Structure 1
């Protein structure tokens, strides 16, 4: 396996590939993303440790969305079971569980650091322990905690972006996958910057579209009801696009059908 350096324009290619693949199996991929969100929500309501367990399953479920994307790109119908492929018996399952634990510990550390700015208000709002009122959001300490958490979350997301795929498809240990994921994101920072910016614009345009639809229907109150399904669909497309960044950032000699190299949509 070798790291590949791609031009900035590749970020837009990942967006296009993700959207094109989504529309090959829109119902299946939308349903899997809804199942993804539902699974995290159900786990999070477990007493005491729910929030931690929800964080721990995120890398594995993200891998499931990548596997579903691969199947859709090959013209196959991804079934619900593919979302949980990382939990199936195999040599990578233990490493994936380690990766989930590392994700939970790292994320909670970021939240802990943010408490130094506002005494924990931002963390309580994030985990649902406090209401998000306009007064809370406008507070200077809350804003500081938000930016502090973002400052630390960006390198964290770089560490975990490719990690599930590297553990599952490339048989890497969890720690090693974090290192290579970060290096891949750093060396291709221009492409990822374009990628994130493009999706930010798409999400913004989704809000504008929801507002336009509600205005045309003569009921501004429908904005939220229109925006939520559109936003969920765009979020599903975003997750669908993740696989292609893995494929373009890493070269491998693997040729079996489980390899992400097999996913090459138009």
Structure 2
């Protein structure tokens, strides 16, 4: 497996490719993203272990979007069956993906646990949906300190798992090695990932501004707040689906394709025709 080093400007290209490919199959990719998020939300309803199970499903959900985006980039229509792609590629890779999920859940809960040392767990309860976010809580110094600590700790956790699902699925790399190769690839391509993150931040801010203007115009012509709220939620879901669509291009450009594939594997993400 060869690691590719790409120029910083590639980060902007990843964003462009994610948006372009999303609009080739907007309904299919939006539906798949919604279904994966719905499955994780339903998992939280399980007694006691619900939140941990939902967290453990995130690497599999990420892989589903990566495979779907790779399909769309090759002008094929992603199907809802891709939601289970992590669970139907053989026992070895199934166990590897389950291990990734368990490690991610432990890591995320560890981040929340460390933040709880600062504010007694208030930020963790709000973030995990166990408590409402009030103005008084948000303005608390301890809450803000816990929030910034959690954000700081989540960055390396995210980089560890960024490429890991793809490495397990397409390169058959063991979970621990996949985590190592993932963070090394992100570090070696630090410039490209910085541009990638800043570019997506710009996209989100621009979309937020556009939605604010739209809501103001709708209010001016007497359109109800419920419709405006629905538009904002739909836009947020589409932006999130676009973001996850772009992840496969960061993976594709960071690692050379595997030399061979096992029968039954999905094809590795190939060159995007718009590349």
Shorter-chain TM-score range:
over 0.9
Post-superposition shift, 1:74?
1.0
Q: Is the 8 A contact 1:32 1:83 kept in 2?
A: yes
Partner residue in 2 for 1:250: 255
Partner residue in 2 for 1:12: 12
The separation in 2 between residues aligned to 1:207 and 1:74, in whole angstroms, is: 31
Post-superposition shift, 1:89?
4.6
C-alpha deviations, 1:99-154, integer Å up to 9, x for none? 00000001011001001111110011111111111111111000000000011100
C-alpha deviations, 1:16-43, integer Å up to 9, x for none? 1101110110110011111111011011
Partner residue in 1 for 2:128: 127
Q: Is the 8 A contact 2:112 2:150 kept in 1?
A: yes
* In the alignment, structure 1 residue 148 sits paired with structure 2 residue 149: yes
Q: 2:232 aligns with which of 227, 230, 245?
A: 227
Post-superposition shift, 1:201?
1.1
Partner residue in 1 for 2:182: 181
- Tell me the secondary structure at the aligned position of residue 237 of structure 2: helix
Change (3 A) 1:13 1:255: farther
Q: Is the 8 A contact 1:110 1:153 kept in 2?
A: yes
Partner residue in 2 for 1:264: 272
How large is the RMSD of aligned CA atoms in angstroms?
A: 1.5
Post-superposition shift, 1:188?
0.6
Post-superposition shift, 1:231?
1.2
The separation in 2 between residues aligned to 1:147 and 1:254, in whole angstroms, is: 42
* In the alignment, structure 1 residue 215 sits paired with structure 2 residue 216: yes
Matched positions, count: 266
C-alpha deviations, 1:141-177, integer Å up to 9, x for none? 0000000001110000000000000011110110000
* In the alignment, structure 1 residue 46 sits paired with structure 2 residue 46: yes
| Residue ranges of structure 2 left out of the alignment (5+ in a row) | none
The separation in 2 between residues aligned to 1:237 and 1:169, in whole angstroms, is: 22
Partner residue in 2 for 1:100: 101
TM-score (norm 2): 0.93
| 1:34-73 aligned within 5 A | 34-73=34-73
Runs of 4+, deviation exceeding 6 Å = none
Q: Is the 8 A contact 2:257 2:268 kept in 1?
A: no
Q: Is the 8 A contact 2:168 2:174 kept in 1?
A: yes
The separation in 2 between residues aligned to 1:255 and 1:10, in whole angstroms, is: 26
| Residue ranges of structure 1 left out of the alignment (5+ in a row) | none
The separation in 1 between residues aligned to 2:229 and 2:118, in whole angstroms, is: 32
The separation in 2 between residues aligned to 1:186 and 1:162, in whole angstroms, is: 12
The separation in 1 between residues aligned to 2:130 and 2:216, in whole angstroms, is: 35
